[in-house]
Amino acid sequence: MDLLKTLVDKGLRRELPTRDEALAVLTTSDDELLDVVAAAGRVRRAWFGRRVKLNYLVNLKSGLCPEDCSYCSQRLGSKAEILKYTWLKPDEASQAAAAGVAGGAKRVCLVASGRGPTDRDVDRVSQTIAAIKEQNEGVEVCACLGLLSDGQAERLRAAGADAYNHNLNTSEATYGEITSTHTYADRVETVQQAQGAGLSACSGLIAGMGESDADLVDVVFSLRELDPDSVPVNFLIPFEGTPLAKEWNLTPQRCLRILAMVRFVCPDVEVRLAGGREVHLRTMQPLALHLVNSIFLGDYLTSEGQAGKDDLAMIADAGFEVEGAGTTTLPQHRADALAAAGCGSHAEAGAGAGGCGGHTGGGCGPCGEGAAPAEAATEAATEPAAATVAAAGGPADGTDAAGPSRPDLVAVRRRGAGTDLPPNA
């Protein structure tokens, strides 16, 4: 049985691939790339059809962060010429969120720079959540505020938050090379606190920081073990003025291999194409829609994305459809399991995203058991096997050649939240 057929069969069963199988995806050749995309696309369609969920970022507080994350333009000591401002008022944040919702976003992600929120900060964000939900009926709200202290996740959930984002970013083995002011374990603990409070956990990675294939597989396998409901995949935006400004390690082909590997390891979760897609995927972005089922609309925290109208045109032209507000994002088994765990509003059809239902102890193991949807099983039985992919095929060291340096594609955000200019949505 060839590699891709094995990975498709496992993806339809929610079965964890082996590490060697995941590594093999990253070392396939360019000649095999479309076969890889087609195979991972079968898994994506089995669980999510041709729907694309739109998410919209609102940067509540920009810059001046005391943490030293090397990849971040808001870090301690950053010389990147980004917008810097303190907390937006609830009505300002609500107006920014409304632009994204009007553009088709069904989730608003509220982000604030800093190590983690104070209790006063949680109060501010709670008021902002209330303002957004009052103005936009049915919208999901995800908070991303850094490391959480005891009880803060519960307070955010009581205020109406549906989800909490905190990315692992890279492998545990290399985390200390990226950040020194907090640990990998700190990040894992915050994800588990969110899960324990009944929030839908969102946790992902950043690719392109000089990591090895093994590092990428390590972090994605760690995410599978944590079992967040959504996994954002960011591609490093090398901001001038940050320690990683010269790291241009990605090609569009490598980005697609990474996304395919994430889909095979995390088949039934919301895989979100996040920051850096315009910089590194460029004209290959539509192919990524065959792998992910979620993207950010418009701009990011400190950088500008492509025009929101172009995002919508790309989705339509590629033969996909924007997921409606009344549609449950995740497969029914996740929503049902979360309902069984008694996690309130997140179990409602068409409301917040569901989880695997095992988060009461602060995180859960991989959901490797259970059957695939009936239509996926039928497709697996009747569709011809994918083309054979060799376990090797890339460069001898198992990595792709570095991509071209394109600082011209890194545009600092000068509109939207924190400015007097209309947002890109």
Q: Which pair of structure tokens corresponds to residue 142?
A: 């995800």
Instruction: List, as one string, the DSSP characters of 344-378.
Output: GGGGSTTSSPP--S-GGGTS------SPPPHHHHH
pLDDT at 57: 94
Please enumerate in sequence order all residues whose Cβ is within 8 A of that of 170, keeping only pairs 6 or more positions apart, or say none.
178, 205, 206, 209, 211, 215, 219
Residue ranges of the chain with pLDDT lower than 70? 1, 337-399
- Residue 284: φ, ψ to 5°: -90, 5
Give, in order, the Cα–Cα distances in Å from 36 to each of 50, 109, 216, 231, 419: 18, 31, 17, 20, 42
pLDDT at 408: 84
pLDDT at 300: 82
Residues in the chain: 425
Q: Beta partners for 30? A: none
Please enumerate in sequence order all residues whose Cβ is within 8 A of that of 25, keeping only pairs 6 or more positions apart, or say none.
3, 7, 36, 257, 260, 261, 264
pLDDT at 337: 66
Residue 329: exposure state from Cβ atoms within 10 A (0-12, 13-18, ≥19): buried
Residue 148: exposure state from Cβ atoms within 10 A (0-12, 13-18, ≥19): buried
- Residue 303: φ, ψ to 5°: -125, 160
- Which is nearest to 87 in space by CA: 420, 421, 423, 418? 418
pLDDT at 352: 36
Q: What is the C-alpha to C-alpha distance for residues 80 and 61, in angstroms, rounded to an integer?
A: 16
Q: Which pair of structure tokens corresponds to residue 179?
A: 């950040």
pLDDT at 148: 97
Cβ burial 348-372 (10 Å sphere, 16+ → b, else e): eeebbbbbbbbbeeebbebbeeeeb
- Which is nearest to 303 in space by CA: 388, 408, 225? 408
Q: What end-to-end distance do the CA atoms of the chain give, in Å?
A: 45
pLDDT at 366: 33
Please enumerate in sequence order all residues whose Cβ is within 8 A of that of 324, keeping only pairs 6 or more positions apart, or say none.
106
Instruction: List, as one string, the DSSP characters of 13-76.
Output: HTPPPPHHHHHHHHT--GGGHHHHHHHHHHHHHHHHTTEEEEEEEEEEEBS--S---TT-TTST
- Helix (H) / strand (E) element for 111: namely strand 107-112
Q: Beta partners for 296? A: 55
- Residue 35: φ, ψ to 5°: -65, -40
